[in-house]
């Protein structure tokens, strides 16, 4: 410390003794023990923490109470052990989630809080699910910008600083009306028309930039519409494909807010979660890119209703088109080309439309019988 004070004194005297010389101010750099990409020099490099094959990663999931977080935590805990996967959110978890494994409060807009969590829990993998979805984001652009972009920047800096393997999901919403729609390849024009889509393109590009600039092990999948039985719709444009099952079971009637011929790529949640685990476990040298499309099926509201009516002929489906959601859907891909994922890390889906409908009905049938028994 006396040496640092002496150097600082010399520097101050040098600055004061050369007024008007046109020279750059003399500074004395004092390196901190820890640092982040907010502070590093241009030639800095980061590399992911390595661990032996017998060790399990320590995983943090942000936005863990959303549609995907709880399911992914369950899958990862089976793989890596209950205490190696930490769910986090800013909301209070339901009892079953709280008692299923570690859960902590985490606000992605609080940089210090995030750093403490990563350090104190020796995190090696970070799955960043915190985001405002398409329709919700359009209703509150300022909040979506804060959560989806500012929050992402915090995540990127902390992941790079601590050498984490980082997964950030992207979406069909990362494409726009000028993108090829049927099929949509991994690399093409991306000009989305929603703040959600814009923020996801930003995430893809920032992740790749941090990978090339700092060596961050960034991995990203563009999810299609995700369908699951054990979570309520969360405000997305593709959520009609979840809501129809809830309404069919409860009332026998469903009103769709998209046109009957609106074709979008979709995926059952089990396929989505398995794809996420597979890309995170894939050896880095097998990845030819950092952001991949993944796909399973592609259908319209009318085709989904017809498949469901094979099992529930009494189901009545009507259409009351929401112009905001319809405009969003019309700008999105009709079908994903996921050939690179299938080639690079052997991605393969299990669920097509008939299997999806049967699985969803089986789930709700069991749920209904349990409710009746209770």
DSSP line for 112-129? HHHHHHHHHTT--EEEE-
* pLDDT at residue 90, as a whole number: 96
The answer to whether residue 313 is domain-embedded is: yes
Helix (H) or strand (E) holding 265: strand 264-268
The answer to whether residue 146 is domain-embedded is: yes
Backbone angles phi, psi at 200, to 5 degrees: -75, -35
Whether 180 shows a pLDDT value over 50: the answer reads: yes
Whether 38 shows a pLDDT value over 80: the answer reads: no
The answer to whether residue 207 is domain-embedded is: yes
pLDDT digits (tens, 9 = 90+) for 311-340: 999 999 999 999 989 998 999 999 999 999
* pLDDT at residue 133, as a whole number: 83
Which residue would you say has higher pLDDT here, 9 or 332? Answer: 332
Which residue would you say has higher pLDDT here, 260 or 233? Answer: 260
Q: How confident is the model at residue 16 (pLDDT cuts 50, 70, 90)?
A: very low
Question: Which residue range is the domain that position 295 belongs to?
Answer: 131-372
Encoded tokens for 166: 């980082």
Q: Within 10 Å of residue 285's Cβ, how many Cβ atoms?
A: 6
- Percent helix, percent strand, percent coil in the chain, to nearest 5: 45, 15, 40
Whether 7 shows a pLDDT value over 80: the answer reads: no
* pLDDT at residue 45, as a whole number: 45
Q: Would residue 214 show up in a list of annotated catalytic residues for this protein?
A: no
Encoded tokens for 139: 């209703």
* pLDDT at residue 371, as a whole number: 54
Which residue would you say has higher pLDDT here, 161 or 44? Answer: 161
- pTM for this entry: 0.83
Which residue has 């814009």 as its token pair? Answer: 198
Q: How confident is the model at residue 236 (pLDDT cuts 50, 70, 90)?
A: confident
Listed range (50-54, 59-63, 357-361) with the worst mean pLDDT: 50-54
Torsion of CA 103, 107, 112, 115, to 10 degrees: 50
Q: How confident is the model at residue 231 (pLDDT cuts 50, 70, 90)?
A: confident
pLDDT digits (tens, 9 = 90+) for 183-220: 999 999 999 999 999 999 999 999 999 999 999 999 99
* pLDDT at residue 185, as a whole number: 98
Whether 267 shows a pLDDT value over 80: the answer reads: yes
* pLDDT at residue 237, as a whole number: 85
Encoded tokens for 213: 């600039």
User: Shortest CA distance to 83 belongs to which of 73, 91, 93?
Assistant: 73
The answer to whether residue 48 is domain-embedded is: no
Please identify which of the residues 105, 111, 129, 196 carries the catalytic annotation: 196
Name the pairing type of β-strands 170-171 and 165-167.
unpaired
Which residue would you say has higher pLDDT here, 30 or 228? Answer: 228
User: Shortest CA distance to 103 belongs to which of 114, 92, 112?
Assistant: 92
The burial class, CB within 10 Å (0-12 / 13-18 / 19+), for 79 is middle
Q: How confident is the model at residue 229 (pLDDT cuts 50, 70, 90)?
A: confident
Whether 9 shows a pLDDT value over 90: the answer reads: no
* pLDDT at residue 300, as a whole number: 98
With contact defined as beta carbons under 8 Å apart, do 296 and 351 qualify? yes
- How far apart are the C-alpha atoms of 5 and 142, rounded to whole Å? 45
* pLDDT at residue 55, as a whole number: 83
Domain count, the chain: 1
Q: How far apart are the first and last CA of the chain?
A: 69
Query: What average pLDDT does this structure show over 12-34?
Result: 39
Secondary structure of residue 35 in the 3-state scheme: coil
Alpha helical stretches, state H, 189-334: 195-214, 240-250, 269-281, 301-311, 323-330
Encoded tokens for 352: 């097509």
Q: How confident is the model at residue 44 (pLDDT cuts 50, 70, 90)?
A: very low
pLDDT digits (tens, 9 = 90+) for 148-178: 999 999 999 999 999 999 999 999 999 999 9
Query: What average pLDDT does this structure show over 93-113?
Result: 96
Please work out, in degrees rounded to the nearest 5, the angle formed at the alpha carbon of residue 86 by the alpha carbons of 83 and 92. 125
Whether 289 shows a pLDDT value over 50: the answer reads: yes
What's 280's domain CATH number?
3.40.50.720
Torsion of CA 78, 83, 86, 91, to 10 degrees: 100
Task: Report the chain's mean pLDDT, rounded to a whole number.
Answer: 87
The answer to whether residue 349 is domain-embedded is: yes
Q: Within 10 Å of residue 372's Cβ, how many Cβ atoms?
A: 7
The burial class, CB within 10 Å (0-12 / 13-18 / 19+), for 24 is exposed
The answer to whether residue 166 is domain-embedded is: yes
* pLDDT at residue 37, as a whole number: 63
Beta pairing partners, 166: 126, 218
Whether 42 shows a pLDDT value over 70: the answer reads: no
User: Shortest CA distance to 71 belongs to which of 363, 357, 369?
Assistant: 363
* pLDDT at residue 31, as a whole number: 33
The answer to whether residue 266 is domain-embedded is: yes
Beta pairing partners, 222: 170, 293
Q: How confident is the model at residue 67 (pLDDT cuts 50, 70, 90)?
A: confident
Query: What average pLDDT does this structure show over 284-312?
Result: 97
The answer to whether residue 191 is domain-embedded is: yes
- How far apart are the C-alpha atoms of 366 and 374, rounded to whole Å? 12
- How far apart are the C-alpha atoms of 233 and 230, rounded to whole Å? 10
């Amino acid at each position: 410390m006396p040496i640092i004070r002496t150097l600082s004194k010399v520097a101050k005297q040098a600055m004061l003794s050369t007024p008007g010389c046109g020279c750059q101010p003399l500074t004395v750099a004092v390196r901190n023990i820890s640092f982040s990409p907010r502070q590093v020099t241009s030639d800095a490099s980061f590399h992911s923490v390595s661990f032996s094959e017998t060790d399990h990663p320590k995983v943090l999931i942000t936005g863990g109470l959303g549609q995907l977080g709880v399911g992914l935590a369950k899958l990862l805990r089976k793989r890596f052990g209950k205490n190696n996967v930490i769910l986090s959110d800013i909301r209070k978890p339901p009892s079953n989630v709280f008692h299923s494994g570690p859960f902590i409060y985490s606000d992605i807009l609080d940089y210090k809080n995030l750093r403490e969590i990563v350090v104190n829990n020796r995190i090696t993998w970070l799955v960043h699910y915190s985001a405002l979805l398409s329709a919700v984001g359009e209703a509150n652009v300022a909040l979506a910008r804060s959560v989806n972009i500012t929050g992402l920047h915090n995540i990127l800096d902390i992941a790079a600083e601590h050498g984490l393997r980082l997964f950030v999901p992207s979406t069909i919403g990362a494409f726009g009306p000028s993108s090829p729609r049927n099929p949509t390849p991994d690399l093409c024009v991306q000009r989305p028309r929603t703040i959600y889509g814009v923020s996801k393109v930003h995430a893809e590009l920032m992740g790749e930039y941090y990978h090339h600039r700092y060596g961050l092990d960034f991995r990203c999948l563009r999810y299609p519409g995700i369908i699951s039985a054990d979570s309520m719709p969360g405000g997305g444009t593709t959520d009609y494909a979840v809501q129809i099952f809830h309404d069919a079971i409860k009332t026998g009637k469903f009103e769709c807010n998209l046109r009957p011929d609106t074709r979008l790529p979709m995926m059952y949640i089990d396929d989505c979660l398995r794809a996420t685990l597979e890309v995170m476990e894939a050896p880095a040298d097998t990845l030819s890119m950092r952001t991949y499309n993944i796909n399973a099926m592609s259908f319209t509201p009318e085709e989904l209703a017809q498949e469901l009516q094979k099992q529930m002929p009494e189901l009545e489906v009507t259409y009351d088109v929401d112009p905001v959601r319809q405009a969003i859907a019309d700008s999105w891909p009709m079908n994903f080309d996921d050939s690179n994922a299938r080639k690079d890390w052997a991605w393969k889906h299990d669920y097509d439309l008939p299997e999806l409908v049967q699985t969803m009905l089986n789930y709700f049938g069991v749920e209904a019988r349990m409710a009746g028994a209770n």
